[in-house]
């Protein structure tokens, strides 16, 4: 078990909010399970900024369903594991759907951010 001081978590959360410019207008999906430390990056910065935390279910993990979920829920911030992001891009190519070219096209409910990075959490 790795113990992380509270001040480190608070500082990490504040940096995450600032870097992504998360505000009370955002809707952030909690993709990681709560047993994985990456969920800390999804839950606490979202709540700290006043944004809305949207919980996903197991049923929406299939890529086509996830895309529908993002549209239906009006998700504006996605923090996805790299492997899932890659399969999601394959799904987009196959289906002809558009998710984003930096979300400039305002597709998928005007989602603002996609973070395609290894989701290893704050520890």
Q: Give dist(CA 25, CA 98) in Å, integer.
A: 23
> Over the chain, what is the mean pLDDT?
79
Q: Terminal CA-to-CA distance of the chain, rounded, Å?
A: 11
pLDDT digits (tens, 9 = 90+) for 6-36: 898 899 889 988 888 889 998 899 998 888 8
* pLDDT for the residue numbered 41: 85
**Domain-by-domain residue ranges, the chain?**
7-17+24-116
**CATH of region 7-17+24-116, choose from 3.40.50.980, 3.90.850.10, 3.20.20.120, 1.10.1200.10:** 3.40.50.980
Q: pTM surpassing 0.85? A: no
- d(CA 111, CA 57) in angstroms, rounded, equals 20
**Among residues 55, 48, 41, which one has the least CA distance to residue 23?**
48
Q: Could you tell me what percent of the chain has a pLDDT over 90? A: 22
Residue 56 in contact with residue 30, Cβ under 8 Å? yes
Q: Is the pLDDT of residue 96 over 60?
A: yes
């Amino acid at each position: 078990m790795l113990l992380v001081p509270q001040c480190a978590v608070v500082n990490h959360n504040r940096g995450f909010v600032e870097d992504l410019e998360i505000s009370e207008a955002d809707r952030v999906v909690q993709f990681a399970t709560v047993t994985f430390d990456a969920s800390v990056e999804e839950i606490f910065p979202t709540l700290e900024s006043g944004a809305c935390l949207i919980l996903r279910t197991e049923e929406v993990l299939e890529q086509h369903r996830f895309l529908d979920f993002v549209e239906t829920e009006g998700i504006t911030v996605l923090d996805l594991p790299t492997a899932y992001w890659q399969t999601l891009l394959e799904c987009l190519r196959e289906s002809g759907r558009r998710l984003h070219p930096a979300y400039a096209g305002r597709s998928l409910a005007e989602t603002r951010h996609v973070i395609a990075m290894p989701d290893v959490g704050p520890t």
